[in-house]
Amino acid sequence: MEQEWMTVPIGIDAGRWVTRDGCRKVLVVVHTVVSGQRLLDVIDLVESDTRVQVVFTVAPDVFNHGVEDYLRGLGALLVPWAQATRERFDLALAAAYDGLAEIHGPLVLMAHGAGHGKTARPPGHGGPVVEPPQVFGLEARRLLRGGRVLPTALVLAHESEREVLRRQCPAALPVAVVTGDICFDRLVRSRAGRDAYRRALALGAGRRLVVVSSTWGRDGIFGATRELLPRLLDGLPGDRYRVAALLHPAIWAHGHRQVRAWTGDCRAAGLILPEPAEDWRAVIAAADHVIGDHGSVTAYAAAAGVPTLRLDGPWSRQCAPGTAQELVGRNAARLRLGDPLEPQLRVAGALDAGAVAARLTSYPGRAGERLRRHLYRLLGLPQPGRHRRTEPVPVR
């Protein structure tokens, strides 16, 4: 059923009904659960301001199924897309690309993963990446419409991304702002208090948590290596290990019932399977080992100092050169499923977390303050008070 248009706090007659008037109106454009999770970190920097009114909308995307339920579960005020594209806002935020040309107001655009770490496939094709590969999210075809630069501010995590932008879309260089990575900053803060996250997962003293992180698609772990989860649950002593699976929310597009059915035997054997709307950082904060693929969670875990292993996969084809993802794919220990698993976990040391993090963010620990400054500049408001410190993610 089509959602009714909102009459308050936005709309032509909203001024008659609001309790607080004169607020700057901010639109959060949510394409997927993943982009929504990223945007929550950012909107938290301004939404407590009594001069700001925040509303959310679900943007068109192949993976936007479930986004409305996700946002309603957060208590977010939802504006229908048709109305959102016919209103003017003082600021809009997005972490994906479809439909952005229809938004009216200053637009802040950012990546929804670990920086701009993936290569892009040619438009309209499902074949291999062309050479030289373009970096996804920084291509002119995504950032320009009719020769006009779409974002008012293009948020980058790392200074090196400016050079990528210079090659791929120089017209967007004037709007690029390098802030660091707020998602990573919150993960680091959470790792500092990992005992609370371990207690929430009922991990007793001495019990180690092995987290499998899978991105979506046929070349992610869940699609390509179906024997991994059963092998871990059979091959690791249950009195010393727990196994959790962090599945990219797009995997759940197969249907929650279906994914839970596919993992039913593993769950019966003790697999921890968080729902896609849960904050994955709470699980990584508790982890002793991560087994991952070329997805962002693997890079974040390695950068946060979690011993990380990989399976064979299309790392070099999927990961942009010089990124954290590429470094992890090249240097992480390879897990051999045919060999005993526990000895491999014991000897797999952590990667050089500092080296991985140095490719992930140019301003570790400072993304919140830098983002907040830019948001208030675009809102035309002075920043209130002192900036809060970066908060850890909630305990499950």
Judgement on whether residues 127 and 224 belong to the same structural domain of the protein: no
> Domain containing 275 — which CATH number?
3.40.50.2000
Give the pairing type, strands 208-214 and 289-292: parallel
Judgement on whether residues 237 and 128 belong to the same structural domain of the protein: no
Question: pLDDT digit string (tens) for 210-244?
Answer: 999 999 999 999 999 999 999 999 999 999 999 99
Judgement on whether residues 154 and 233 belong to the same structural domain of the protein: no
CA 301 – CA 381 distance, rounded (Å):
36
Half-sphere CA count of 94, side-chain side, radius 13 A: 29
Question: pLDDT digit string (tens) for 340-361?
Answer: 999 999 988 778 999 999 999 9
Whether residue 63 is contained in a domain is answered as yes
Whether residue 2 is contained in a domain is answered as no
Q: Can you state the angle between helices 182-191 and 367-379, rounded to 10 degrees?
A: 140
pLDDT along the chain (396 residues), means of 10: 81 89 96 98 96 98 95 97 97 97 98 94 56 88 96 98 97 98 98 96 92 95 96 96 97 97 98 97 98 96 96 79 94 94 89 96 97 97 84 91
Neighbours of 240 (CB within 10 A): 11
Is the distance from CB of 353 to CB of 245 less than 8 angstroms?
A: no
Whether residue 23 is contained in a domain is answered as yes
Judgement on whether residues 107 and 237 belong to the same structural domain of the protein: no
Neighbours of 114 (CB within 10 A): 28
Among 348, 245, 370, 254, CA closest to 297: 245
Angle CA 66–292–354, to nearest 5:
110
Q: Can you state the angle between helices 182-191 and 296-303, rounded to 10 degrees?
A: 50
Domain enclosing residue 349, as ranges: 192-360
Judgement on whether residues 178 and 74 belong to the same structural domain of the protein: yes
Secondary structure (DSSP) of 191-229: HTTHHHHHHHTT--TT-EEEEEEE-SSTTSHHHH-TTHH
Q: How many domains does the structure of the chain reveal?
A: 2
